[in-house]
Structure 1
Amino acid sequence: MQASIVIRNARVLTMDETQPHADAVAISGNRILAVGSDVDVARFVGPQTRRIDAGGATVLPGFNESHLHIFSGSVALNTLSLFGVRGFDNLRTALLRFAAERPDSKLLIGKSAEYTLVSETRNMTRHDLDAIIPDRPVILVAPDHHTGWANTLALKMAGLLEGRDVGVGNEVVMAKDGLAHGELREINAMGPVFALGDTGGREGLGFETGGEPAHVTATERVADIAVLRQGLAYCASLGITSIQNMDGNLYQLELMDEIEQTDGLPVRVRIPFHMKSFMPLSDLEAKAAVWRDRYASDKLRCDFVKMFMDGVAQSGTAVFVDDYANRPGWKGEPLFTQDHFNEIAANADRLGLSIAVHAIGDGAVRMVLDGYEAAAAANGPRDRRNRIEHAEVVHPDDLPRFGRLGVVASMQPTHPPGSAGTPLEPYVSCVGEARWQYCFPWRRLVDTGASIVFGTDWPVSPLAPISCIYDAMNRKVWRDDLPDHRLTLAETLAAYTRTSAWLEYMEDRKGILREGYLADLVMLSGDIEAIGLDKLDTLRPVLTLCDGRVTYEA
């Protein structure tokens, strides 16, 4: 058989434990034809074969981004990045320049605004933003996307200036003058401001409410598809061949399906049914199970349920077993009661749906583990592959429960404060030194039998897998006597490829480079094993193939 593409002279990391290394890969159609030496693969070269010399660079399975928000991330490509911006004067310069470049934008949005952007000693207020731009609505969003700061005009237009009940775990922070302070905690509080923007906030509906847009014109739909195409192409340019979205609604599924039916999706897409606390239990059967059956191809799937148990430590919305170190008497408030969560978990499990739950604090992590254990007790043995998103702090009593219950830890190497240029405060003070050794405990989780997958939570953090791998391998401890939670390079790469495919129940056809498997791979600009950990971030994807199709080429 003649190969359509042959890559030779490569350092192939197959992620296949039966054949870890090879020199060449042959592809026919959307499948891998052969993996082996240059001589082994040469027999598949014909007159129509495209031959690629890797020049000794690494070829490995395409990256599987296990946690991102594709619609909001795609929109964020056209917003102001405040990553690394510090101080009021620098904020003013960046925001005024951005506003001048977009005179017709309905809402000015800045992303990756640090909690300490304006001051190390106080939170940003609406008055800070009014001093820069008072006559156009503005919102800045923290890197974790759980806190935002809006100017007075935006708050007034969104109906938030005099406060509003935005639900449990969400808050419009009020000032002493009886008007909104400017700080908006969690998505329900920020949502009314995002609704003022060019997209009408549609990109946040699957995240904020799990609901659908009330009305979308044909023009708006075309614009939304264009935005998603841009985001998907960006994924491919970074060597990503699979994404696991962490918010979902039918609208996103329909848009993705339209892209697949026209030009074809450049990455494989997995989207959840997003279950919120106010939704009826019947939605699991009437919607989640129906969507699973409707979208079940290798390119577009909807086969799991996403939930939130808490918020984030920086805003006081994460849930801890013991009090916040900087707020005695406060442990945080969960978004579900234990009984309610147990009921949802048991019903989703009964329907054969896997579950992914955002849980930051050790109290929230414990509640989710308790719910998974209750579901298993109710429904009996099953290959569940449930997961906890972030698991930033895990109580020592709960560390071995991940492995025992088969719960996957879905982690983000860019999230530990001090990584990727992020500040330590206010996180480390919120958590407190007594819990530091149990923060982002990758090594301990793996050593106690847990499986780990890696992602970025884009647009919360930059999307590039290579940068994320660099951050994972170069993570620094906050104090010299704290444990080093880094994994090996091989474990880290597995968390971005083989294990992520297994998590999707697709380990029989992707995540490793093996004959007969789907032709999803990335070629880098150098040898990832030889370059040195401190230089990992200098590598770049130069070729991405998804389903045998070139989706990016430098």
Structure 2
Amino acid sequence: FFFAIDGHSLWANSKALEIAGVNRDTPDPIPRFSYYVRDKNGEPTGYVLEVNAVLALVNAVEPISPAAMGQLMEAWLPKAAAAGITTIFDAGVPPIGSDQGSLIALYTDVEKRGKLPFRVVASYAVKGLPVDDAVQQLTDIRKRVSSELVQVNVVKIVGDGSQEGYTAWLLEPYADKPDSIGASPFSVEQWHQLIGNVDAAGFDVHVHACGERTARTALDAIEKAIATNPPRDRRHAIAHLVYVEDSDNQRFGKLGVTAQFSANWLSADPDTMINMLERYGPARQSRMYRPKSILNSGGRVSFGTDWPAAGYFSTYKPLDSIQVGVTRQLIGKPDAPVLSPADERLTVAEAIHANTLGAAWQLRMEDKVGSIETGKLADLIVLDRNILEGDPHDIHRATVTMSMMNGRIRHES
């Protein structure tokens, strides 16, 4: 088997399907959302969509082990420090069995050995039913895993899939599949129950929302939770936001919801210009990824990379994300097409803010990190140039000469 770059699907050969026991009689984990694509005779083709079905097959063929994940993570840590990363948000680890905490604990294992170069805010991911145990699951993991550098205080909601696989949840049908608007793992009632319960318990949600119906449903559920539950300092976030209707863009600021963009997706790359044009048609495709509109309406924006997933360009480097957010072009090609709307390009200062204080606010850490101020923790990086000056197309060329976290140098070149 091998994965698609976005992580939302995989292709498996007949031997893998046999090992996993997937055949014409195997029920789909979540019909119409996470399922085994079948031919006209009902036989599985080997194309598998969304995480429930994907992980079931992967764990049957080559089980994910903490040891293997730990080795992969530790090999990446020096690269993260060299890229200038001092804090990460882990938006839902792949579960080993039913225990997500066992993978999150890999961070604290490294921390105990003094080798963790960044802070971690991790989440408990809800990928399907049930939804009524999310608060208890999160609470249990928090009790087991929390440390100085590793906190677990967010419920990640996998609200839909991806446009490429027709599993993003849309308001209007797909242009090239007019009988489908995609799907969500949850009914509207379950959305309201899940977000209402998490909000009432004092925790924040982080919603995966590629489709505009998912973004609207999440905003509706958050609005209802605000009206129903006691007042408090909320830091809910909705991520990806491939396409959002104008009326819903205005709601982020009104509801205090952070719009979290995977900024490296914001270029006129072949996936966006070919695949997404086919899925959405020109009217919607020409209004994708609009962080400036949210800022202009009083909303907050944060940047992430969604690494290792991507639609076309996969990167964990914040400088890459900042550059794409400013240029809306592929990196390394100054004359490349600019993704429409061109006026959604951010200034360098806005893109830096999204990667620093914008993200820190979302993670409830703005009083500790995100800017260099007296009284804050010594988390900072030094670059070999001032990226606020010069050609924005050269931002990715900047070298991180030093990364510091908790006052300790974690990378130096």
**TM-score scaled to structure 2, two decimals?**
0.89
Give the superposition deviation at 1:262: 2.1
Task: Pick 1 or 2: higher relative contact order, CA cutoff 8 A, min separation 6.
Answer: 1
Matched residue, 2:18: 156
* SS of corresponding position for 1:424: helix
Decide which of 184, 191, 194 is 1:344's aligned counterpart.
194
Matched residue, 2:363: 504
| Aligned: 1:184 with 2:48 | yes
- Trace 1:244-393 onto structure 2 (pairs within 5 A): 244-248=89-93, 249-284=100-135, 286-292=136-142, 295-393=145-243
Give the superposition deviation at 1:196: 5.2
Matched residue, 2:398: 539
- CA separation in 2, counterparts of 1:163 and 1:484? 51
Give the superposition deviation at 1:381: 2.2
- Trace 1:101-120 onto structure 2 (pairs within 5 A): none
Residues 427, 163 of structure 1: CA spacing in aligned structure 2 closer, same or farther, 3 A cutoff?
farther
* SS of corresponding position for 1:491: helix
Q: What are the Cα deviations for residues 241-263 of structure 1, in whole angstroms up to 9, with x where unaligned?
A: 00000004211232222221222
Tell me the amino acid that sits aligned with residue 511 of structure 1: G
Decide which of 173, 177, 182 is 2:37's aligned counterpart.
173
Give the superposition deviation at 1:368: 0.4
- CA separation in 2, counterparts of 1:537 and 1:348? 38
Decide which of 227, 231, 239 is 2:84's aligned counterpart.
239
- CA separation in 2, counterparts of 1:490 and 1:201? 40
Give the superposition deviation at 1:232: 2.6
Aligned 8 A contact 1:289 1:351 in 2: no
Matched residue, 1:394: 244
Q: What are the Cα deviations for residues 507-549 of structure 1, in whole angstroms up to 9, with x where unaligned?
A: 1111111122111111123221233112122112121111111
Deviating more after overlay: 159-168 vs 436-445: 159-168
- CA separation in 2, counterparts of 1:521 and 1:155? 48
Higher helix share: 2
Residues 163, 228 of structure 1: CA spacing in aligned structure 2 closer, same or farther, 3 A cutoff?
farther
- CA separation in 2, counterparts of 1:222 and 1:191? 17
Tell me the amino acid that sits aligned with residue 305 of structure 2: T
- CA separation in 2, counterparts of 1:538 and 1:520? 22
- CA separation in 1, counterparts of 2:68 and 2:5? 26
Aligned 8 A contact 1:390 1:410 in 2: yes
Matched residue, 2:97: none
Q: How many residues align?
A: 395
Aligned 8 A contact 1:523 1:543 in 2: yes
* SS of corresponding position for 2:184: coil
* SS of corresponding position for 1:383: coil
Deviating more after overlay: 173-182 vs 407-416: 173-182
Give the superposition deviation at 1:313: 0.7
Aligned 8 A contact 1:163 1:172 in 2: no
Runs (5+) with no aligned partner, structure 1: 1-138, 203-220
- CA separation in 2, counterparts of 1:479 and 1:535? 16
Give the superposition deviation at 1:391: 1.1
Aligned 8 A contact 2:200 2:230 in 1: no
Aligned 8 A contact 1:436 1:482 in 2: no
Residues 194, 540 of structure 1: CA spacing in aligned structure 2 closer, same or farther, 3 A cutoff?
farther
Decide which of 451, 460, 480 is 2:300's aligned counterpart.
451
- CA separation in 2, counterparts of 1:363 and 1:512? 35
Matched residue, 1:470: 323
- Trace 1:369-448 onto structure 2 (pairs within 5 A): 369-416=219-266, 418-419=268-269, 422=271, 424-448=273-297
Give the superposition deviation at 1:298: 4.3
Aligned 8 A contact 1:321 1:363 in 2: yes
* SS of corresponding position for 2:368: coil
- CA separation in 1, counterparts of 2:338 and 2:383? 34
Matched residue, 1:228: 73
Report percent identity of matched pairs: 29
- CA separation in 1, counterparts of 2:274 and 2:20? 30
Aligned 8 A contact 1:466 1:540 in 2: no
Give the superposition deviation at 1:481: 7.5
Give the superposition deviation at 1:440: 0.6
* SS of corresponding position for 2:157: strand
- CA separation in 1, counterparts of 2:116 and 2:390? 32
* SS of corresponding position for 1:341: helix
Give the superposition deviation at 1:157: 2.2
- CA separation in 2, counterparts of 1:273 and 1:487? 31
Give the superposition deviation at 1:482: 3.8
- CA separation in 1, counterparts of 2:172 and 2:120? 38
**TM-score scaled to structure 1, two decimals?**
0.67
Aligned 8 A contact 1:163 1:180 in 2: no
- CA separation in 1, counterparts of 2:405 and 2:395? 23
Q: What are the Cα deviations for residues 48-90 of structure 1, in whole angstroms up to 9, with x where unaligned?
A: xxxxxxxxxxxxxxxxxxxxxxxxxxxxxxxxxxxxxxxxxxx
- CA separation in 2, counterparts of 1:225 and 1:482? 41
| Aligned: 1:142 with 2:4 | yes
| Aligned: 1:516 with 2:375 | yes
Matched residue, 2:333: none
- Trace 1:174-213 onto structure 2 (pairs within 5 A): 174-176=38-40, 178-195=42-59, 200-202=63-65
Tell me the amino acid that sits aligned with residue 302 of structure 2: V
Aligned 8 A contact 1:365 1:391 in 2: yes
Matched residue, 1:45: none
